[in-house]
Amino acid sequence: MISLVCMIVQAQTFVCSDLNFYSSDLSQKEIQDEKKRTLGSKAVLSVYDKYLKFVSTNNNGKSESYVLDKTNDSEYRYNEKTSYGYTYKMIIKLQKIVNYIKGFTIDVYKDNRLQGSVTYKRD
């Protein structure tokens, strides 16, 4: 019998410190509402050998979870083709000193156009 064992290398908690929108389809009110929900929210990163699990909880208590594939030592990527016909991509870039993660930035793309970025710092 084959047993698969996954070891968490590190699980760390972060807080959202910045949120930027670029070529977004959102109105100014929707952007303000998103900032209210997101700024100050918490996220947990669990780093595995080839994957990163990102779990965020916004200020309204809603949680989202993603598993991203490792592309290099400091970058992880998630791609999804939506039912609406566009491609959604999320890239997490870690700011590290040796194995200590100081923070990270999430860049969100829709059809290869940068829609926004979110910055998290250690809690």
| Range 10-122 has CATH code 2.40.128.20 | yes
Domain boundaries, the chain: 10-122
Q: Is the pTM of this model over 0.95?
A: no
Q: Nearest-CA neighbor of 14 among 41, 35, 48?
A: 41
Q: Give tens-digit pLDDT for 92-105.
A: 999 999 878 999 99
Q: Nearest-CA neighbor of 118 among 38, 29, 25?
A: 38
C-alpha span between 13 and 5 (Å, rounded): 23
Q: Give tens-digit pLDDT for 68-84.
A: 999 998 999 999 988 87
Q: Let me know: does 88 contact 82? Beta carbons within 8 Å.
A: yes
